A = this chain, B = another copy of it.
């Protein structure tokens, strides 16, 4: 575990990662908007920034009027972060603390903080397991009724086309490369594959796979996500993989600030996470059912990694439970839906 952590924090000394994050405008702007549109709660507040990196979020908080910001950063980047804070004239407000959040202590004069800010999201939200450190910080340092920025996180999933892993290899400057593509997909199945997917390549409506309320979710709830579902094709197309992405939301009294990594939104450095299938399952017509089981489980040997298991099921199998009603084109679902609709009509009639 210790080695795992050392390598993890060391990786954040590489400035290329921070360059990537700082050039991610939707990310920066979402945090800035969320913090700036909450000036009333930031004014005169105590703020804790978990894994503060370059310190950009801490500076937003200071700009929004925080009394004191504790920027806790475990990697050596803390030194550079102090210079950045100074360049922006907030050295009196922001205290950069170079330690793990697990080792951090508030000054004796301060009991708890009012707000925790953190940009902890990894690929498919969970990768890197930094959220666990944020939850620990919440337990130890956030006052009752204090605010989490962000305070909600949602993981979405949709079956999708993956032309860049299938169709594009039928003809590469006149050469057939389908054998290459098959082996490429096999290689890419062994770890999460990060790609920008076109919105038009999604095959179903967006489906929520997990919803996390960051005010009360616990670390143990992050160990296992199991998802059994029958989705319905909204477009026709080749079913070639699964696409996973996430949104995070920030506390708000009026207009909600959302940082979305949806394929239809401006690309972020998280892109989308895809799970390619070994081969085309089938060409789906509109309204075809897609049944699958997805398990995302923390790797018992590498705390910061997850194992992802995707199983495609036969939607006509008796073991597969369709929703009630289900919009798919299987006869039993069409009949059930009609039956439920007629019951509802009858009920409405009786209540009228």
Give the distance in Å from the alpha carbon of A88 to the alpha carbon of B23 in the complex. 43
Q: Which residue of B lies closest to A27 (CB)?
A: B173
Please report which residues of chain A, range 28-42, place their CB below 8 angstroms from some CB of chain B when the two chains form the complex. Answer: 28-29, 32
A179 within 8 A of B: yes
Other-chain residue from B56, B87, B168, B176 in contact with A179 (beta carbon distance below 8 A): B87
Q: Is the CB of B15 within 8 A of A187?
A: yes
Other-chain residue from B32, B87, B180 in contact with A173 (beta carbon distance below 8 A): B32
Q: For A3, list chain B residues within 8 Å (CB).
A: none
* Number of copies of this kind of chain in the complex: 2
Q: For A14, list chain B residues within 8 Å (CB).
A: 187
Q: Is the CB of B177 within 8 A of A80?
A: no
Give the distance in Å from the alpha carbon of A83 to the alpha carbon of B19 in the complex. 41
Please report which residues of chain A, range 11-26, place their CB below 8 angstroms from some CB of chain B when the two chains form the complex. Answer: 14-16, 18-19, 22-23, 25
| Closest Cβ–Cβ distance, residue A220 to chain B (whole Å) | 35
Majority SS at the chain A contact face: helix
Contact with B along A42-58 (1 / 0, CB 8 A): 00000000000010100
A59 within 8 A of B: yes
Given known A-B contacts A22-B172, A25-B173, A54 and B180 have beta carbons under 8 A apart? yes
Give the distance in Å from the alpha carbon of A84 to the alpha carbon of B179 in the complex. 6
Q: Is the CB of A184 within 8 A of B63?
A: no
Q: For A180, list chain B residues within 8 Å (CB).
A: 15, 18, 22, 54, 80, 84
A352 within 8 A of B: no
Other-chain residue from B84, B88, B173, B184 in contact with A28 (beta carbon distance below 8 A): B173
Q: For A176, list chain B residues within 8 Å (CB).
A: 84, 87-88
A183 within 8 A of B: yes
Q: Is the CB of A187 within 8 A of B16?
A: yes
Q: Is the CB of A174 within 8 A of B80?
A: no
Q: For A15, list chain B residues within 8 Å (CB).
A: 180, 183-184, 187
12 A–B pairs (Cβ distance < 8 Å), ordered by A: A15-B183, A18-B184, A22-B172, A22-B177, A28-B172, A28-B173, A32-B173, A59-B175, A80-B179, A83-B179, A87-B177, A87-B178
Give A contacts to B, CB under 8 Å: 14-16, 18-19, 22-23, 25, 28-29, 32, 54, 56, 59-60, 63, 80, 83-84, 87-88, 168, 172-180, 183-184, 187
User: 12 more A-B contacts (CB under 8 A) besides A32-B173, A60-B175?
Assistant: A15-B183, A15-B187, A18-B180, A19-B184, A22-B180, A28-B173, A56-B177, A84-B177, A84-B179, A84-B180, A87-B176, A88-B176
9 smallest beta-carbon distances between A and B, as pairs: A28-B173, A83-B179, A15-B184, A87-B176, A15-B187, A32-B173, A87-B179, A59-B175, A84-B179
